Amino acid sequence: MENLIKKSVMELNAYKVNDDIFEIKLDANENPYDLFKNYCDIFMKEISKINLNRYPDANCKSLRRKLSQYTMIDEDNIICGNGSDEIIQMILNVFISKNDNIIIHVPTFPMYKIYADILEAKVIEVSCDDEFKVNIAEIIKKANEYNAKVIFLCNPNNPTGTSIKREEILKVLHETESIVVVDEAYYEFLGETVIDKIYDEKRLIVLRTLSKAFSLAGARIGYAAAAGNIIDALNKIRSPYNVNSFSQISAAILLDKVDDVKDSIKKINKEKEYIQKSLKDIPGIKVYKGCANFLLVRFENFEETIKLLLEYKISVKSYIKGELKNCIRVTIGSRYENDKFIEAVKRVVNCE
Give the CATH number, domain containing residue 326. Answer: 3.90.1150.10
| Residue 45 domain flag | no
Q: Are 96 and 107 in a shared domain?
A: yes
* SS percent in the chain: helix, strand, coil, step 5: 45, 15, 40
Check if the beta carbon of residue 57 is closer than 8 Å to that of residue 80.
Answer: no
Q: Are 112 and 64 in a shared domain?
A: yes
Beta-carbon contacts of 72 under 8 Å, excluding residues fewer than 6 positions away, are 196
First to last CA, the chain: 56
Listed range (4-8, 107-111, 285-289, 337-341) with the worst mean pLDDT: 4-8
Residue after which a domain boundary falls, among 257, 274, 306: 257
| Residue 44 domain flag | no
Per-residue pLDDT tens over the stretch 234-282: 999 999 999 999 999 999 999 999 999 999 999 999 999 999 999 988 8
Q: Are 280 and 219 in a shared domain?
A: no
Q: Are 214 and 165 in a shared domain?
A: yes
Rounded to whole angstroms, the Cα distance separating 194 from 278 reads: 34
| Residue 41 domain flag | no
Residue after which a domain boundary falls, among 257, 273, 308: 257
Closest CA to 150 of 194, 112, 108, 180: 180
Helix/strand number for the chain, H first, E second: 13, 13
The parent domain of residue 311 ranges over 2-34+259-348
Question: pLDDT grade, residue 73 (50/70/90)?
Answer: very high
Rounded to whole angstroms, the Cα distance separating 126 from 31 reads: 30
Residue 350 pLDDT greater than 80, yes or no: no
H helices within 176-218, ranges in order?
187-190
Q: Are 243 and 296 in a shared domain?
A: no
| Residue 110 domain flag | yes
Per-residue pLDDT tens over the stretch 3-61: 788 888 887 777 777 777 789 999 999 999 999 999 999 999 999 999 999 999 999 99
Total domains, the chain: 2
pLDDT over 70, % of the chain: 98
Q: Are 228 and 170 in a shared domain?
A: yes
Residue after which a domain boundary falls, among 257, 292, 316: 257
Q: Are 165 and 236 in a shared domain?
A: yes
